[in-house]
Amino acid sequence: MELNLLTICYLIASVTFILGLKMLSNPVSARRGNLVAAFGMTVAIFATIFLYEDNGEKLHNYVWIFAGLIIGTIAGTLAAKKVKMTAMPEMVSLFNGMGGACAALISAAEFYHIYELHKDSPATAFAELATVGHYITIVAGAIIGTISYTGSIIAWGKLNGRIKDYSFNGQHIVNMFVLVLVIVAAVWAYQSTLGNILIPFMLIGFFALIYGVLFVMPIGGADMPVVISLLNSFTGVAAACGGFLYDNKAMLTGGILVGAAGTLLTILMCKAMNRSLTNVLIGSFGGGNKTTAVEGAAGPQGNYKEISLADAAMVMAYANRVMIVPGYGLAVAQAQHTCHELEKILEEKGVEVQYAIHPVAGRMPGHMNVLLAEADVSYDKLLEMETANDVFKTTDVVLILGANDVVNPAAKNDAQSPIYGMPILEVEQAKTVIVNKRSMKPGYAGIENDLFFQPKTSMLFGDAKKVLQDLCTEIKAV
């Protein structure tokens, strides 16, 4: 009866995972979907603790189990409550890395469990104790989980500025060589006797750690959303391997869902950037030449012009349609609520206000959607890139808040640019473009933006939150 009840609990958990993922596809139901999936995970955890049996023996080390649950719950809750919206991509990457580490440890524990059961017969080869499929699952979980862990940690460091892009000639050859060493160590471990097996297995983990670092280090800033999504899919696959090892349906289902969703999202991100995944991983996008215009002087493209707050307010107040393009600068300034206030003030004056969202704006997939949802911006006002590009032609004013690379015309006009071919928000089609930035420094990809020097573009320098507050005051007075 208990076994059947455990199976039912796992089935409930699996269904809630699927429903939760489906609900995450819509911002209106996303919060509820997250809670539904969390409920399913809670059911799976407590069902495993109290109902799981192995040869008639239940779990007994409750002190360690609940100590880990309590510590993890407290740490996760505090971290989630204190994290700023600008640091959300780092937290996602860090949590994903922890998931990869857990999956790798599960594989290591299963490997060591087999070793402990038969260590009294050191002359026995591991191949005699485990089928090829079982061993491949163990090693795949260990390798993929370890790569996801170290890769996510490096991504976390790059997102918060602690780690810089690094590459060298022949790095991709070195990466492939390290990957070959991982495979060689895995074959060696499978063929080794128990007395000699721990060294090759530790080498698997060691080389996988190195590969995870080398894998992410050369990838440039603008590709980080794609990398985070790809690493997320790695963690899902590693977790699914753990589900196979323990015949745990909930873990298997959750891992497959995360792996599949992460893979599909990675493909969509690459499509949004008009680049292949191979190009992302090998191209080191954003790590190339970086040019910076000198403030107040003629840059490589010419002179830029500034606009005063009063003039910007006047132009926006008398416009028929205003399109707001949010970027990372808006998140840094934590100005999403002020932006929503500006939207309401403009609408009171009869101005139609919408938001143009680029798929890779910010530092992670959906970053801008999450940012604006936090400020209760109506989802109906968020236009996807293709729709927004059609609307720009009839837009009076475009207000760009901290976005840079996703509005750079070089993606269409400069075949030598690293972002050439990437679909962008074609804001230059609007009658007037106002760009809010702190300075004329290039964006995250380190590429100068031709848009800033076009005749219809005006620069409005300053912190996004302060500028938006002042705009609200000025527009009210118009």
CA atoms of 25 and 257, how far apart (whole Å): 13
CA atoms of 386 and 237, how far apart (whole Å): 32
Are 245 and 114 within 8 A, CB to CB?
A: no
Choose the catalytic residue: 54, 311, 390, 405.
405
Strands (E), 52-197: 53-54, 57-58
Are 439 and 412 within 8 A, CB to CB?
A: no
- Residues 215, 216, 222, 225, Cα dihedral to 10°: 100
Residue whose structure tokens are 């002179």 = 303
Residue among 291, 138, 150 at smallest CA distance from 208: 150
DSSP characters over 175-191: HHHHHHHHHHHHHHHHH
Alpha-carbon radius of gyration of the chain: 26
Q: Is 165 a catalytic residue?
A: no
CA atoms of 119 and 114, how far apart (whole Å): 8
CA atoms of 421 and 414, how far apart (whole Å): 9
Active site residue ranges: 405
